[in-house]
Amino acid sequence: MVDRPLRTVMGWPPPATTSGKEHRLRDKTHGRYFYLHPVAGELDLSFETPRLPDDPDQALVVHTVEKGSPSHTALRLPAAWAREASPVR
């Protein structure tokens, strides 16, 4: 934990404290982010996170790119490498 004088000098807010109440975080069910892939370069990814109603602790995160976009084209290179590494028999 960072001491109070350092927090003051750095302009950081005081540490969060809990008042005994439960803090609920909202699920991020969909969105978009940018990712720098070491081979494909910059990717603009959309995602959705569907959950099963009977088991809300389980989630499947699905990433997509727009067809024909630069990200779609960039992802074709690592996809081709994956096909070459494990050919279908």
Bridge partners, residue 51, by sequence:
59
Asked whether residue 14 carries a pLDDT value surpassing 80, the answer given is no
Q: Residue 56: pLDDT above 60? A: yes
Angle at 48 between CA 65 and CA 27, to 5 degrees: 145
Quote the number of domains for the chain. 1
**What domain range includes position 86?**
27-89
pTM above 0.75, yes or no: no
Better pLDDT: 84 or 47: 47
Q: What is the pLDDT of residue 25?
A: 59
Domain annotation covers residue 49: yes
Residue 89: inside a domain, yes or no?
yes
Q: pLDDT-derived band of residue 34, with 50, 70 and 90 as boundaries? A: very high
The DSSP output letter for 21 is: S
In a domain, 19, yes or no: no
Residues, the chain, total? 89
Give the residue-averaged pLDDT of 41-61.
89
Q: Does residue 61 lie in a domain region?
A: yes
